[in-house]
Structure formats: structure tokens, C-alpha cells
Amino acid sequence: MKVIIVGGVAGGATAAARIRRLNEQAQIIVFERSGYVSYANCGLPYYIGDTIVNPEELTLQTPESFYSRFRVDMKVRHEVTAIHPERKTVSVKNLQTGEEFEESYDKLILSPGAKPSQPKLPGMEMDKLFTLRTIEDTFKIKDYINRNHPKSAVIAGGGFIGLELAENLRELGMDVTIVQSQKQLMMPFDADMAAFIHAEVRKRGVRLAFGHKVEGFSEKNNGVDVLLSDGSQLHGDMAVLAIGVTPDTKLAKEAGLELGVRGSIVVNDRMETSVPDIYAAGDAVQVKHFVTGEDALISLAGPANKQGRIIADNICGGDSRYQGSQGSSVIKVFDLTAASTGINETHAKRIGLNVDTVILSPMSHAGYYPGGKVMTMKIVFEKETYRLLGAQIVGYEGVDKRIDVLATAIRAKMKATELKDLDLAYAPPYSSAKDPVNMAGFMIDNIANGMLKQWHLSDLDNLPIDGSATLLDTRTAGEYRRGHIDGFLNIPVDELRERLGELDASKPVYVICQSGLRSYIASRILEGNGLIAYNFAGGYRFYDAVANDRALAEASFACGMDK
């Protein structure tokens, strides 16, 4: 059996190694148009920022090491220019010598990945404008910085690459501005949770220009003017276009393979394309979203590696199936960690799901053990069924651990109420006896049992201010003085039982505290005394972060950037 693989890195290299482990006799050839067959794509920004100093650490395998261990013929700087399914060959060009030839195959694996989205805008040819996708892109940016010592950069795009690059350029001492057409960074997060990311980024000196679309680039003052849709411009010594990626499927299209979302390659759960004996994996393929069942593009290394393994199994006579992607991800944002899995509340509502959320601010480990830090968790679940749909966490320590537990719970199709039953490891330096994930489950179970009724930030503008309800802040008097929502009466929770006479028992009470815990206790006191109470999801800490972020976002839209 002769297997040709187009593209290395995650999907292609994984498939090649797995095929060899399953079939010692197979002939395996990988054609990779870049000079690197397997490299740490996710580590590229950290090389630019000098966190990773040795460029060789980015190279996971070389053609020589791959051949030595797996007897796989890795041909770098070879570009497959056409696929001929009718005669089961591919056309190949040696980019070093210019030689062109055809290579036959019994099985063909496409792992072309994705390329940076590059709209047709004025100034795209400038040598001070960069994209970051390949290891060559990385070396190009690093070489430019080392030679020219730029003092400032404008990054168009606030996703994973844009945010990681912003951090690393700031670590080099550069002034950095991110311009983003949406009014938030990191679209896998709801806007309210992204507020915590924005606060960290701003604290570190990165300027944010939200709600502005990039219309072009021009050279000015030995740098780059980034032209915005409102007629303004942002200037930097260099600029990076990081507005997303597009499936690199020109070969597949020309060969007549069925294409799907944004031109991606359609595959079944065996990773087979519409043409016999041709498989595809990675950022170029359309997958099913595990939570929603929707056709989706999910460009992450984990899914690509799994898909490569599944293809290898099936080529070698097995029957492996890809169950779908749920987009589990984590990102370092300076000292902050932000992670998500499944779908967010915004997405859930957009596709018509009837959802609810709980928001909590637990400590990373036992409060009495030194060094604990607060994290903010948002769990999304379906009303009535309590199907667990997604989660977002922003914090410092322990974020990745909790998101992995929640990702596993989604994959196991657990109900959100069942989070309370998980038996999770506990010791004071690592967690609490009631782990944050358990706490989320307790809250959702309280909702299911009618013990907890919530109101959300989205309800704030519609709260009854005509006197038909009581708005109650249960924090201490000192906390209340330092900041509160207009119209809220302050009665500390520890004084509530003695001051119940100050409340009209015929009116519902909308309760808030700093994190949601004291207001929940207050709600139970009120309910126990015959009142109807609604607890604010997230607490004043959450409200304050989101309100401040919204004010700054509006200012950035009006002024072109944060001031």
C-alpha cells in the first residue's frame, strides 16, 4: 500500500506515524511545501517574544528524524499542485529545483491546513505588514524586529494569534494596539466574560480599538498607517494581519471534492471525502460540532491530531469514527488564563436554544491555604433538560483543570445538575472540598429544585423601578459606599433577619452581593420568611467588570482606541 500525504504538521504527521505503527510494509510519502514538516505551531508567538529562545525547540521532527524512526519519506519544499483522482496520482513541484513530476497513490490524505485570511485591501504588499501562521512567518517577523527595532505595532484581529502576539510584543517593550471589528476580543467567550480579558490586556498597556473594520494599509513616517472604516487611522512601526484563517482547499476544489462551510472539505465520520480513497484532516475540513450537531470549522491542534489518527486506522483496515469537535481551548493572557469549551450563551441563543447560565467566582484552592486566587466561571445549560452546553472560565490558577473537567462532562453527555456528583481530587493547595465544578453543579441543582431563582445582567435595564419590587444590596455598608447600582437599598446579609420589617413582603426582591454567595443566603432568608427573591448571577464584582468594560469599549469606538 502506497500512501501520499499532502501537508505535515498536526494532521499529516500524526497520520504518517500512526500508519507506520499499524503497517510496517506501507510506503508513506509526505509532501510539505514549507521547509518544516512538523513544528510547534502554537508556540510561534512565544518565540517572537523570547519566551522560547532556541528556534530548534519549535521543530518537533525533521525529515531525517522522521525517516530514522518511522521510515516515512518526508519531502519538504515540495508542493502538490494537482490531484488526479481518475488515475490516482498527484502532480508535484520541487520548489528548490523547479522539477515537476507525478506520484501515484493507493490512498491519499489531504492535510493542507488553513491560511491567514487576506482580504484584498490597499497596501497588502507592504514589507512592514505581516501574517503569522507558519514557522517561516515567525522567522520573518523576528528578523524584522531584530533588524529594525520597531517601537510600536498594530495588530488587526483579536483572536488567539492576535492576543498571543500582542502579549509577546509587549514583553519586548513595544507599544501595541489591537483593532477588532467586533466589540470584544476572543469570540468563543461571551462579551461579559471577555470583559475580564479586556481588563488584563488594558492593564498591561495594550490599547484596544473595538468596532472598527480595517480598510487598508499605507506607508507613512517609515511605518504603517492602518486605515479604519470610519476614516481614522492607527499608526505603528509594523502591523500584523491576524483576522482569522481560511481553509486552504484549492487543490480539493480543483479535484472535484465536495466542499462545505467557507470552502472547507466535506468528510464523513471516517474522515473520508466525497472521492474514494481520499481522506482529509485538520483545519481544512468541515466537522460536526459535538454540542449542536452543526457543520463547523474548528481550527485547533487537538482535533487535527485525532483526525489524523482516525484516518490512519481506517486506511489500515480499522473502523475509527470522529465524534465531532466541541472547541475546547485555553489561552494565556499575560498572567491571566482564559478557557472555554462547548458553545457560549450568545451562540446558544442565536441558534434558538432556551438556555440559562450560572456565574460564580470561586477560589482556585481552599481559602485558608495561602495564595488562592479568584476565578470567574460561566456555565451554559439548556432549560428544562439541563443539558450541559458549554463553559467559560477566566482566572489565574486551576482554570485549565476545571475546563478539562467540564469538557469531559460535556463529552460524556452529563446533565449540568450532575456536576455536583463528580468525585474530584482535593487537597488545600489544589482545590476545595467543594470544587468549583461541584459548586456550579450545586447552583444548577438549586435552580432545578426551585431553591434558586436568578436575575441576570441582561435583566438590569428592565428591573421594576416603579416601586413594584425591592432592589436589595446585601454587602457591607463599606462595600456599598465604594460602589453600587443606583436604586438598590443596602441591608447587609447578617442584619437581614432583624430588618425584614423594612421590606414590603408583597413585593418580589431582586438581590445582589459581591460574588453571589451572600445574596443567595439572603434569598433563602427571604424565601424562608414568605418573600419571593431573585439572586443576581455573578454578583457586583461581575457587574462592575462588565459595566467598566462596556464604557471603555464605547469610548474606543468613538475615539479610535482606548485612552
Query: Alpha-carbon distance 38 to 28, whole Å?
Result: 16
Instruction: Count Cβ neighbours within 10 Å for each residue of 64-86 and write b for 16 or more, e otherwise.
Output: eebeeebebebbbebbbeebebe
Give me the torsion for CA of 331, 423, 383, 345, rounded to 10°: 0
Contact 312, 348 (CB under 8 A): no
Query: Alpha-carbon distance 361 to 302, whole Å?
Result: 29
Query: Alpha-carbon distance 94 to 443, whole Å?
Result: 60
Strands 152-156 and 238-241: parallel
Letter for the amino acid at 317?
G
The DSSP secondary-structure symbol of 276 reads T
Positive or negative: CA dihedral 127, 133, 137, 143 = positive
By the 10 Å C-beta count (0-12 exposed, 13-18 middle, 19+ buried), 265 is classed as buried
The side-by-side arrangement of strands in the sheet containing 207-210 is: 129-130, 238-241, 152-156, 175-180, 207-210
Which of these, 15, 6, 63, 4, lies nearest to 248 by C-alpha position? 6
Query: Alpha-carbon distance 2 to 315, whole Å?
Result: 11
Cell (9 digits) for 260: 462545505
Distances (CA, A) of 286 to 9, 267, 269, 279: 18, 7, 10, 12
Letter for the amino acid at 506?
S
Which of these, 493, 545, 540, lies nearest to 515 by C-alpha position? 540
Spot the catalytic one: 42, 316, 513, 559. 42
Is 42 catalytic? The answer is yes
Query: Alpha-carbon distance 12 to 22, whole Å?
Result: 15
Torsion angles phi and psi, residue 201, rounded to 5:
-65, -45
Query: Alpha-carbon distance 156 to 74, whole Å?
Result: 35
Residues that are catalytic: 42
